[in-house]
Amino acid sequence: TVQGHTEAFLVTRRGVRFLACPLESKLLPTAPIAGQKPGTSGLRKKTKVFMGKNYLANFVQSTFDALAQTNAPVQGGTLVVSGDGRFYNPQAIQIILQIAVAAGVKRIWVGKDGLLSTPAVSAVIREREGGFKPFGAFILTASHNPGGITEDFGIKYNCENGGPAPESLTNAIHKNTETIQQLHMAAQFPTISLSQAATHTIGDVTVEVFDATEDHVSLLQKVFAMDKLKALIGREGGFSFKYDSMSGVQGVYARRVFLELLGADDWSLLNATPKEDFGGPKSASHGHADPNLKNAVELIQAMGIKSDGRKVENSGPFPDFGAAADGDADRNMICGTKFFVTPSDSVAIITRFAQDCIPFFAGGLKGCARSMPTSCALDRVAKDLNVPCFEVPTGWKFFGNLMDSASTYGKTDYTPFICGEESFGTGSNHVREKDGMWAVLAWLSILAHHNPDPAAELVGVEDIVTEHWKKYGRNYYVRYDYEGVEKAAAEEMMARMAADGRACCDGVDLGNFELATADMFEYHDPVDGSVSKNQGIRFIFTDGSRIVFRLSGTGVDGATIRLYLEKYVDPTGSLDMYAPEVVRPLAEIALKLSLLAEKTGRDEPSVIT
Ligand code: G6P
Ligand code: ZN
């Protein structure tokens, strides 16, 4: 054989045959760029920062350098690369391809048009057929943050279990970004066309561009009884719904699932074409592909809900069911006619009915979990079902460990497992990310279960939720966000409460509330033994009501203080009050004990959800 740099050929008795061979790579000098520390869900910065010289490349190279210290099979391995379609997604993919190839990756899977939702990436890593198990994935997304050249971009790395990288790895990546000197990139690697499903072979490397919905949707078809959902949508007595993809990546999946598989018509879909700026400032959401009462404007108008969560006066007609997804489609928002379901209630209700109507759970649920600030509604259901309910810090990776408890750590098996967060994330162990489409199909399953007679009057979302409150009581729940606070001021406010929460309550009139505990939440992972400190301050009252403070881990500018307010009312109490009013006394206490106004100069939250 004669070895060339970009191609090799074998001289045989029958002639010359070209062989796939290692591609040449080039070394480029670079220098560390400050601030490349991944947050709760990867590295997020202004798009222009990412477009700056070597910014993205430094981070990706640092990831490969960190992977080289682990036993991830990068050499000769398979990698997934795709994003939510925001501005700079196509260019970023090409840069990652070049670094991956130089690092020894031999097979790269990319969704058509460079698109894959976050849960779909997880499904692709775990499920995609072909005998090549990916060692990981780069997901190009800043989730629900606006996209566009003047907005945000982001990147996160997921591991071979399909879940976000653990802190040990993200810390190692960050460390490498502080010392990086060289980039290794494939020399003369062509730009790969992403606009069509095709397999590209370059030297000994294969780049496979495939339909973004394939793996995720076929997994969902196994999880849910799709025939029952189809029957619900086509039922004789009528069923109408609106699904808002908010111009994010979900549009691709929404068309496949709702139109092609479930037989809904176009009318049901809002903003189902992915856009690089999610519609931008002129859109109803102002380019914030974030499914909540503030940003999912088109959906809540369509459903007859006001931005403060109340019902509109006019009688409609309004659809029976409504839902929305964020930019990368891992979040979900659930509504009924004139009715908004809080994410905390949603996970509790899905957990309650899962075994009855979702085939994936038919054998019995074995565990559930919520993030600490999420309301305790789930705990009551778990108790009733007699399954363990874990309280973990904010961030999906903590759920992942519980899901992998048996498979990776040889400990108790908690799967099938359901989990959720107040931040509009819900999911299960079918993947290792929260899954916006999964949550919607779970709700359709619950609706189908409650409506066995196709001609009868529909038992709707509000009926199901109010019945739930009558059985378990209601955890009235509201979140106040103080965005763009000066970082030092926010940190000082938190430090004061962390030092002595009880002392902060001294001299504050607690009204009818009696303080039970005040502490900084610290998580001791029962699966891998790791300890996560400083996960938020909790004031818990004897009646189960809670005040929680935490600093957001996903912001790009300054600090965002989140204040979570929860008041429990048992089934004998008033269950149909207006949540923001119910929690107001708690908010007043929270402001006094935190000295929020004094410390930050802010007297009003920027968002109430
Ligand atoms: C991301 C994570 C979630 C987490 C949320 C918290 O969406 O995937 O698991 O709940 O961030 O955001 P925050 O801004 O409150 O840190
Ligand atoms: Zn997201």
Q: Is 41's C-beta closer than 6 angstroms to any atom of ligand 1? A: yes
458 inside domain = no
Tokens found for residue 262: 């479930």
Q: Give the domain-ending residue among 290, 310, 341.
A: 341
> Which-ligand-closest: CA of 250?
2
| Alpha-carbon gap, residue 182 to 425, rounded angstroms | 38
* CATH at 522: 3.30.310.50
Reported confidence tier of residue 166, pLDDT bands at 50, 70, 90: confident
* Residues 162 and 72 placed together within one structural domain of the fold: yes
Closest of 38, 121, 112 to residue 328, by C-alpha:
121
CB 428 within 8 A of CB 360: yes
- Map 296-322 to HEC letters: CHHHHHHHCECCCCCECCCCCCCCCEE
Whether 550 is covered by a domain: the verdict is yes
pLDDT band at 251 (very low <50, low <70, confident <90, very high): very high
Q: Is residue 186 in some structural domain? A: yes
Ligand 1 within 6 A of 535 CB? no
Q: Which of 145, 157, 396 has the most ligand 1 atoms within 8 A of CB, as the residue to mutate?
A: 396
Q: Which residues 6+ apart lie within 8 Å of 378 measured at CB?
A: 344, 347, 348, 351, 368, 370, 389, 420
Q: What is the pLDDT of residue 5?
A: 41
Res. 16: pLDDT tops 90: no
Please indicate, yes or no, whether residues 166 and 61 belong to a single structural domain of this protein. yes
Q: What average pLDDT score do residues 190-207 get?
A: 96
Taking the C-alpha atoms of residue 512 and residue 509, their distance in angstroms, rounded to an integer, is 9
What is the tally of structural domains in the chain?
Answer: 4
pLDDT band at residue 257 using 50, 70 and 90 as cut-offs: very high
Q: Is residue 116 domain-shared with residue 261, that is, in the same domain? A: no
Order of strands across the sheet that contains 474-485:
515-520, 537-541, 546-551, 559-569, 474-485, 607-608
Mutation pick for ligand 1 pocket among 170, 375, 421 (CB with most ligand atoms within 8 Å): 421
Say whether pLDDT at 92 is over 80: yes
Pocket test for ligand 1, best of 41, 139, 551 (most atoms within 8 A of CB): 41
CB 521 within 8 A of CB 498: no
57, 184 in Cβ contact below 8 A?
no
Q: Of all atoms in ligand 1, which is nearest to the CA of residue 397?
A: 9
Q: What local confidence, expressed as pLDDT, does residue 2 receive?
A: 35
- Chain centroid to CA 402: 17
Q: If you take atom 3 of ligand 1, which residue's CA is the nearest one?
A: 395
524 assigned to some structural domain: yes
State ipTM: 0.98
Residue 537 burial (10 A CB sphere; 0-12, 13-18, 19+):
buried
Is 574's pLDDT higher than 70? yes
**What is the percent of the chain where pLDDT is above 90?**
91
553 CA closest ligand 1 atom index: 16
| Residues 366, 333 within the same domain | no
Q: Tell me: pLDDT of 208 over 50.
A: yes
Same domain, 49 and 189: yes
Rounded mean pLDDT, 274-281 = 97
| Ligand 1 atom nearest 554 alpha carbon | 14
Last residue of a domain, one of 148, 182, 212: 212
Query: Helices in 315-460 by DSSP H: which ranges?
Result: 343-357, 377-385, 397-403, 405-409, 436-450
* CB contact set of 161 (below 8 Å; sequence gap of 6+): 125, 126, 400, 404, 408, 432
Specify if 24 maps to a domain. no
CB 375 near ligand 1, within 6 Å? no
**pLDDT class of 9 with cuts at 50, 70, 90:** very low
**The pLDDT value given to residue 499:** 95
Rounded to whole angstroms, what are the CA distances from 296 to 326, 392, 609? 9, 28, 12
Q: Is the CB of 396 under 6 A from ligand 1?
A: yes
Centre of ligand 2 from the C-alpha of residue 496, in Å: 32
Closest ligand 1 atom to the C-alpha of 422? 10
Spatial distance between the Cα atoms of 215 and 212, rounded to a whole number of angstroms: 8
Whether 466 is covered by a domain: the verdict is: no
pTM to 2 decimal places: 0.95
Q: What span, in angstroms and rounded, lies between the C-alpha atoms of 445 and 434?
A: 18
- 47-61, 154-168, 262-276, 543-557: the lowest-pLDDT one: 543-557
| Ligand 1 in reach of 89 Cβ (< 6 A) | no
Task: Give the structural domain span for 205.
Answer: 29-212
143 in active site:
yes
The Å distance, Cα 73 to ligand 1 centre, comes to: 29
Crossing angle of helices 436-450 and 461-472, in 10° steps, is 80
* 42 C-alpha to ligand 2 centroid (Å): 11
pLDDT of 457 > 90? The answer is yes
Q: Is the pLDDT of residue 15 over 80?
A: no
The pLDDT assigned to 285 comes to 94
On whether both 405 and 507 belong to a single domain, the answer is: no
**Which residues keep their CB under 5 angstroms from ion ligand 2?**
143, 326, 328, 330-331
Is residue 448 situated within a structural domain?
no
Q: Is the CB of 562 under 6 A from ligand 1?
A: yes
Q: Distance from the CA of 256 to the center of ligand 2, in angstroms?
A: 20
Q: Which residue has the tokens 């903003």?
A: 271
Quote the strand ranges of 160-297, DSSP E: 182-186, 198-202, 205-210, 241-244, 269-270
Token pair 């700026």 in the structure block, residue: 277
Q: Is 552 in the pocket of ligand 1 (CB under 6 A)?
A: yes
Confidence band of 12 (pLDDT split at 50, 70, 90): very low
If you average pLDDT over every residue of the chain, what do you get? 94
Categorize the per-residue pLDDT at 21 as very low, low, confident or very high, splitting at 50, 70 and 90.
Answer: low
| Contact between 223 and 438 (Cβ < 8 Å) | yes
> How far does residue 512's CA lie from ligand 2's centre (Å)?
38
Pocket probe for ligand 1: among 423, 537, 557, 607, the residue whose CB has the most ligand atoms within 8 Å is 423
Nearest alpha carbon, ligand 1 atom 15: 552
How remote is the CA of residue 181 from the centroid of ligand 1, in Å?
32
For residues 464 and 349, what is the distance between their CA atoms, to the nearest angstrom? 9
Q: Kindly give the distance from the C-alpha atom of residue 16 to the centroid of ligand 2, in angstroms, as a whole number.
A: 51
- Between the CA of 144 and the centroid of ligand 2 the distance, in Å, is 5
CA geometry: angle at 408 spanning 407 and 413, to 5°? 40
Q: From CA 339, how far away is CA 310, in angstroms rounded?
A: 8
Q: How far apart are CA 93 and CA 111, in angstroms?
A: 11
Structure tokens at 240: 């109408």
Q: In this structure, is residue 110 part of a structural domain? A: yes
Are residues 305 and 161 part of one domain? no
| ω into 580 cis (within 30 of 0) | no
Hey, what are 250's tokens? 């979900």
> How sure is the predictor about 62, in pLDDT bands with cuts at 50, 70 and 90?
very high
If asked whether residues 195 and 64 sit together in one domain, one would say: yes
Ligand positioned closest to the Cα atom of 559 = 1
Ligand 1 atom closest to residue 395's alpha carbon, by position in its atom list:
9
* 384-425: pLDDT as tens digits: 999 999 999 998 989 999 999 999 999 999 999 999 999 999
Do 53 and 201 lie in one domain? The reply is yes
Name the closest ligand to CA 370.
1
Mark whether 519 and 480 lie in a shared domain: yes
CATH label of the domain that carries residue 161:
3.40.120.10
Nearest atom (ligand 1) to Cα of 560: 14
20 pLDDT band (50/70/90 cuts)? Answer: low
Q: Kindly report the protein residue whose alpha carbon is nearest to atom 9 of ligand 1.
A: 395
Residue 592, SS3 per DSSP: helix
More confident residue, 505 or 3: 505
Of these residues, 117, 143, 445, 552, which one is catalytic? 143
* Higher-pLDDT residue of 37, 167: 37
Answer yes or no: is pLDDT of 238 > 60.
Answer: yes
Which ligand has the minimum distance to the alpha carbon of residue 139?
2
Q: How many Å lie between the centroid of ligand 2 and the Cα of residue 330?
A: 5
* Biggest distance spanned by C-alpha atoms of the chain: 94
Is 334 in the same domain as 369?
no
The domain boundary, picked from 293, 318, 341, lies at 341
Give dist(CA 157, CA 152) in Å, integer: 17
| 56 Cβ contact partners less than 8 Å away, ≥ 6 residues apart | 50, 92, 95, 96, 155
Ligand 1 atom, smallest distance to 423 CA: 10
Asked if residue 348 and residue 329 are part of one domain, the reply reads no
pLDDT at residue 523, rounded to an integer: 97
> Identity (one letter) of the amino acid at 467?
E
